[in-house]
Amino acid sequence: MDCYPSNLQITERTCRSAEVLTGPERRRRWTPEEKARIVAESLTLNAMVNAVARRHGLHPNQLSSWRREFRSAMVASEPRSAFVPITVTAAPEAIVAAPPSGPIEIVIGVATVRVPPLTDEATLRRVLGAVRSVA
């Protein structure tokens, strides 16, 4: 609102314009469940952050901030390293692994990657790296 003194000698102020705000409330409180649902939607394949944010009445920067928080929480909750005892009963050349009969599902945070049988290791590494960088 622009208010100017009507006269320099008079202390009374007159207002020349008023702004009426319409639209969503500016200080909406989001529950953690709502945030997680919206972040998960933004992480789906071919989802655009701007479109998801607009659909939920958010500014894209706010959604990006939630995504960063989500990634930080996921990294903090992952175990750093663990040692597991193993026993090799045959020479490595003699071990033959049977291919899986169906797809393998790998869950990283809220993202689920379905890997079809006989997927080569290089492709799987690229896909998992991409999911981890986004999640």
CATH number of the domain residue 35 falls in? 1.10.10
Q: Is pLDDT above 70 for 123?
A: yes
Is residue 35 one of the residues assigned to a domain? yes
Is the dihedral angle over the CA atoms 56, 57, 60, 63 positive or is it negative?
Answer: negative
Residue 1 has what pLDDT?
Answer: 47
Q: Are 96 and 119 in contact, with CB atoms under 8 Å apart?
A: no
The reported pTM is 0.41
Tokens encoding 17 = 């314009």
Q: What is the pLDDT of residues 8-66, one digit of tens each?
A: 555 555 656 666 666 666 677 889 889 999 998 998 888 899 999 999 999 999 999 99
How many separate domains does the chain show? 2
Asked whether residue 31 falls in the same domain as residue 67, the answer is yes
Residue 49 has what pLDDT?
Answer: 92
Rounded-to-integer distance, Cα 68 and Cα 39, Å: 10
Rounded-to-integer distance, Cα 70 and Cα 40, Å: 10
β-bridge partners, 106: 113
Residue-range definition of the domain harbouring residue 110: 104-135
